[in-house]
Each structure stands twice: as structure tokens, then as C-alpha cells.
Amino acid sequence: MRRLLSGIILCTLLLCGGTLAQGKRYKVMMILFRGTTSAETGFMDHLSNRLPVEFLVRDVAGERSKAQEFVEEARRERVDLIYTFGTSVTLDVVGATGKIDPAVHVTDIPVVFNIVADPVGAGLAPAFAATGRNLTGVSHLVPMADQLRAMQRFRQVTKLGVIYNASEPNSRLAVAQLRGLVGQFKLQLVEEAIISGPKPEAAEYRAGNAAADRGTARLHLSAVRLVPD
């Protein structure tokens, strides 16, 4: 994925500037959701070995309202490229198709997204072939039907519990995909939604895990599926 993303970045810069300017130091703003992950570390390492580049790393730290502040900064800094992590941040930066406000969203700076579960379902692109705007990126997930086939090869599942974050678009989209496949795979789906909030203490984690174990036993679930948060 690192090479694919870096290739996309290089192509994007070439398309925007025609050729990579000799001696130019490129500015790439990275707008993240929860700090730097291994995806960003690999991306920065790979790209910096191929281009003179300055990274402006910005983190919304789970507060989506901060994205607008970073969009405005990107315009002031006249960055060459914006990298976004995840569905929520990408939607906040570029807007969904048909709901783009040029006063709020980026339209004149190339944007590359990463770790977006379902860019088509989220409204970032009409199809995987092309976005139709100044935006490209990669999805990190195997198609849901293929995931279910692999699960059924491991063990026969008839009653599947799913825990998802109701605050996150990609999490809701994953559950919608599961609902659409229950007939094909002869599954009964049992849903449990949670809402994003402050990081719980260790004791709360233990209590939550114990409650989940009791719930699994009580509901006689064959398996529990965690979808992207």
C-alpha cells in the first residue's frame, strides 16, 4: 500500500505541475484523525526518499470541527497536496459528491485519502474507476462478501453479532453492507451500536469486555464481527 500511495502522490504532483520542478521543495499537509499511524510513517518515509518534501502534520484528535481550521491553513500555506486519514476527515476536507461547498471544502488542491473503508458508499466518488474531481486514494478493506466467505470457511456461522460505532460513517456503511448480505449467506444479524466518546479507563474496558462476553453467551451468537471505527 505504501508504494501504491506514493505512486499516486507522484502522479498527482506531476499532473498538477507538468514536471517535478528542479530544486522545489514540495509542501504536503497531512490531516489525521487520531495521530500518526504506521500508514503515515511509511508514506512519509517512502515519499521523502523520492522528493524534497516538507510535511505539515495536523491532527483533529477526534474533533471533526478542527478540519476546517486545517483546510484554511492549507490554503494560506499554498500546499501542493493534502493527505487525509479516514472517512470522516476526508469528508470534512473535500465534502461528499453533490454536497461540496467551495467556501468550506477543498476543491483547488489535490487530495489523496488513505484508510477509507468505502469511498463510493461514503459519497467521495461515484465509482472506484474515478472520482470525477481533484481527489484520489485507496481503500484498505477486502470486499465484505469475501470477508464473509472466509469466515464461513473457518466455521459455520448462522447468528452474527456486529459491534459498530454509530458516530462514524464508515462504520455505519459496513453494517449496511452486512444487512444486504444476510440473505445470501443465510445469516441472522444482531447489531450493537456504540457512540464515540472519551477514551475509557482500563476498568471500563474490562467491564465492557465482560458485558460483551455475557451478551455473546446469552444471545447464542456464532461469532462477533467488529467493523471499522
Instruction: Report pLDDT digits (tens) over 177-197.
Output: 999 999 999 999 998 888 765
Which of 178-186's residues contact partners 24+ apart within 8 Å by CB, and which partners? 178/144, 178/225, 178/227, 181/144, 181/145, 181/148, 184/145, 185/148, 185/152, 186/158
What total number of domains does the chain contain?
Answer: 2
Among 137, 172, 201, which residue terminates a domain?
A: 137
Same domain, 107 and 188: no
Helix/strand/coil percent split, the chain, to 5: 40, 20, 40
Same domain, 133 and 155: no
Q: State the residue range of the domain holding 17.
A: 2-137
Same domain, 15 and 88: yes
Same domain, 151 and 109: no
Q: What CATH number corresponds to the domain at position 69?
A: 3.40.50.2300
Same domain, 56 and 124: yes
Cα–Cα distances in angstroms (integers) from residue 168 to residues 29, 38, 72, 125, in the given order:
23, 21, 24, 18
| Residue 7: count of CB within 10 angstroms of its CB | 12
pLDDT over 70, % of the chain? 79
pLDDT digits (tens, 9 = 90+) for 10-51: 545 544 444 555 668 999 999 999 999 999 999 999 899 988
pLDDT digits (tens, 9 = 90+) for 98-132: 999 999 999 999 999 999 988 998 999 988 888 88
Same domain, 122 and 14: yes
Same domain, 78 and 179: no
Among 137, 158, 186, which residue terminates a domain?
A: 137
Question: Which amino acid makes up residue 38?
Answer: S
Same domain, 88 and 200: no
Same domain, 118 and 205: no
pLDDT band at 216 (very low <50, low <70, confident <90, very high): low
Angular region, 206: left φ>0, alpha ψ -120 to 50, beta rest: alpha
pLDDT digits (tens, 9 = 90+) for 137-185: 988 888 889 999 999 998 889 999 998 888 888 788 889 999 999 999 9
Among 137, 164, 192, which residue terminates a domain?
A: 137
